Amino acid sequence: MSVARTIFPAYSRARMESPVRPAVSKDTGLAEAAIASEADIRSGLTENLARLWRYGLVLSHQRDVADDLVQATCLRALERADQFIAGTRLDRWLFSILHSIWLNEIRSRRVRQGQGFVDAGETLTVDGAHDTETHVMANQVLKQVNALPEAQRTVVFLAYVEGLSYREVAGILDIPIGTVMSRLAAARAKLSGAGSEGGRQ
Amino acid sequence: MNTKHTMPSDEDLTAFIDGELTAEEAARIEALVNQDESVAERLEFLARASLPFEQAFAPLLSEAPREKLEAMLADIPAPQNASSGSAPAFATRRRFLGALAASLVAGIAIDRAVIGIGRSFTPKDENGEWRAVVAEYISLYTRETLAGPTASREVQTAQLARLDEKLGLSLSPEAVSLPGVDFKRAQLLQYDGKPLAQIAYLDPETGPMALCIVMSSKGRKAPDLESRKGLNVVYWSNETHAFMLIGRAAVDRMTAIADGVRGRMAV
């Protein structure tokens, strides 16, 4: 079930909007600023690796794809370090990069190639002690969220797990706030319904 | 029947539950909820979906292959290094992209190898990475995470026995009981493919606290202090295991509690 790694395209796209770089050597101050920000991005990436990976797992349901998504996100973020706006939230920026890679490159490719998605239940479970109440609860919530359609699952994850505001979710997914609201509303209706049908308190 | 006109949409009710409405809009919804039973019912229905999402997804953070991802990140060359200074920008850029593409293809093989080597030779987990992972996890705990009655001695013994078996320990409820702090549960987690024992407590004053243990061969090390994710950590190790006590209690109290544990466990 592994994704074809060699065609992983996140960095090989010559056509991506290339940041404007001065053709000849930059003045020293500018170069220093760029270097500093590359280091900042790198340390920001280090801090957020686990969160990015989790988001990749929620999107793809597959650990190896989550690995690849994080890798592609790192490459692109470092390459575009100069596009990061200082003073804004780095984690939000990284999430939006990961999401666009998923949407535009991985997911579409997989759909095109007709590779199915594995059943969410297999991948997204909490390991370790399997018998404590907390884990039973956690796995039940994971199962319910993973049963949601991708569009709803994504907003639920970003808004309710990552705790982002509607505006931030809209920014990451590049959709209107109204769409975030309607997806969350639909997800809530589904989750509440599932709760009563399944006889879970 | 004016229900049709006053019934707010699911979107409005959802935004109300999520605290995303302006004060004015929120007041309007609140008034409708008070006036109209069907609005109240719908609100209650949607609010039922306010599940403990954050807690449910928290364990996935510690499942991330952090070591592998960090090695991968370290392998990515800094873009500036690719430039020799005077090369035209397009050439530099092409070379950079080429290098990235190559490093990815090779990178997979390399980082597999690095990880393989890392596992067998370098005592990676002694450098504190496991504590960072635990801190991340514990920082997501709230009082609610650990709500519920304190486990009976039998349950505690059974839970601890699982840890003993996997980690080669011999823990008793007495040894791991902390003064003034309630034992909540002992769990077996996994860090980097190795068992990680986590004993969770609830301190009535400061909230969640945990004692975590992994196997470690780095040798004996006296207790030290650090702060991670806004939590205080006391960590130490003996010949066979590394320990950490993490919580929001003040440093003095954390140190005293850790000393007590070390005494009782003879580590």
| pLDDT tens, residue order, chain B (267 aa) | 444 457 899 999 999 999 999 999 999 999 999 999 999 999 999 999 999 999 899 989 988 999 999 999 998 887 654 443 333 344 444 444 444 454 444 444 434 333 333 333 333 344 677 888 888 878 888 887 787 777 788 888 888 988 888 888 888 888 899 988 989 888 888 777 778 899 999 998 899 999 999 988 888 888 988 888 888 999 999 989 999 999 999 888 999 999 999 988 877
How many CB contacts within 8 angstroms connect chain A with chain B? 184
Mutual angle of helices A63-79 and A28-60, in 10-degree steps: 160
Collect all residues with Cβ–Cβ distance below 8 Å to A33 and sequence separation of at least 6.
none
Mutual angle of helices B23-35 and B37-47, in 10-degree steps: 120
How near does any CA of chain A get to the CA of B227, in Å? 15
Q: Determine the pLDDT at residue A126.
A: 58
Please check whether residues A98 and A195 belong to one and the same domain: no
Selecting from B15, B57, B159 the residue whose C-beta is nearest the C-beta of A54 gives B57
The dihedral built from the CA positions of residue B261, B128, A132 and B168, taken in this order, carries a sign that is: negative
Collect all residues with Cβ–Cβ distance below 8 Å to A193 and sequence separation of at least 6.
none
Range of the domain at A93: 1-9+21-118
Which chain A residues are closer than 8 Å to B63 by Cβ? Answer: 127
Please check whether residues A142 and A105 belong to one and the same domain: no
Please check whether residues B261 and B143 belong to one and the same domain: yes
Q: Which of A118, A146, A178 is the last residue of a domain?
A: A118
Range of the domain at B207: 139-265
Of B148, B65, B127, B97, the closest CA to residue A127 belongs to: B65
Split at pLDDT 50, 70, 90, the class of A39 is confident
Which chain B residues are closer than 8 Å to A188 by Cβ? Answer: 10, 14, 17, 46, 49
How near does any CA of chain B get to the CA of A114, in Å? 23
CATH code of A186's domain: 1.10.10.10
User: Is A103:A75 a contact under the CB 8 Å cutoff?
Assistant: no
User: Is B63:A61 a contact under the CB 8 Å cutoff?
Assistant: no
Burial zone of A40 (CB within 10 Å; 0-12 exposed, 13-18 middle, 19+ buried): middle
Answer whether B65 sits within 8 Å of A53, measured CB to CB.
yes
H and E: helices and strands count for chain B: 11, 6
Closest chain A residue to the Cα of B66, Cα to Cα? A50
Order of strands, edge to edge, in the sheet holding B207-215?
B182-191, B194-203, B207-215, B241-247, B231-237, B221-228
Residue A176 belongs to some domain of the structure: yes
How near does any CA of chain B get to the CA of A124, in Å? 8
A88-101 average pLDDT score:
93
Please check whether residues A107 and A201 belong to one and the same domain: no
Q: Which of A55, A86, A118 is the last residue of a domain?
A: A118
Collect all residues with Cβ–Cβ distance below 8 Å to A8 and sequence separation of at least 6.
A68, A71, A72, A105, B104
pLDDT tens-digit map of B150-195: 778 888 888 898 888 888 888 888 889 998 898 988 888 877 777 8
Answer whether A49 sits within 8 Å of B66, measured CB to CB.
yes
Residue A123 belongs to some domain of the structure: no
Residues counted in chain A: 201
Residue A137 belongs to some domain of the structure: yes
Say how far apart CA B126 and CA B237 lie, in whole Å: 9
Domains in chain B, number: 3
Closest chain B residue to the Cα of A189, Cα to Cα? B46
Expressed in angstroms, the distance from the first to the final Cα of chain A is 36
Please check whether residues A87 and A4 belong to one and the same domain: yes
Answer whether B49 sits within 8 Å of A189, measured CB to CB.
yes
Task: List the single best residue of A188, A190, A196 to mutate versus B (max B Cβ within 10 A).
Answer: A188
Of B85, B89, B75, the closest CA to residue A18 belongs to: B89
Q: Looking at this protein, which amino acid is placed at residue A25? A: S
Say how far apart CA A87 and CA A29 lie, in whole Å: 19
pLDDT tens-digit map of A136-185: 778 889 889 989 999 999 999 999 999 999 999 999 999 999 999 999 99
Please check whether residues A84 and A61 belong to one and the same domain: yes
Closest chain B residue to the Cα of A192, Cα to Cα? B49
Which chain B residues are closer than 8 Å to A18 by Cβ? Answer: 93
Residue B132 belongs to some domain of the structure: no
Domains in chain A, number: 2
Which chain A residues are closer than 8 Å to B185 by Cβ? Answer: 132, 134
User: Is A55:A45 a contact under the CB 8 Å cutoff?
Assistant: no
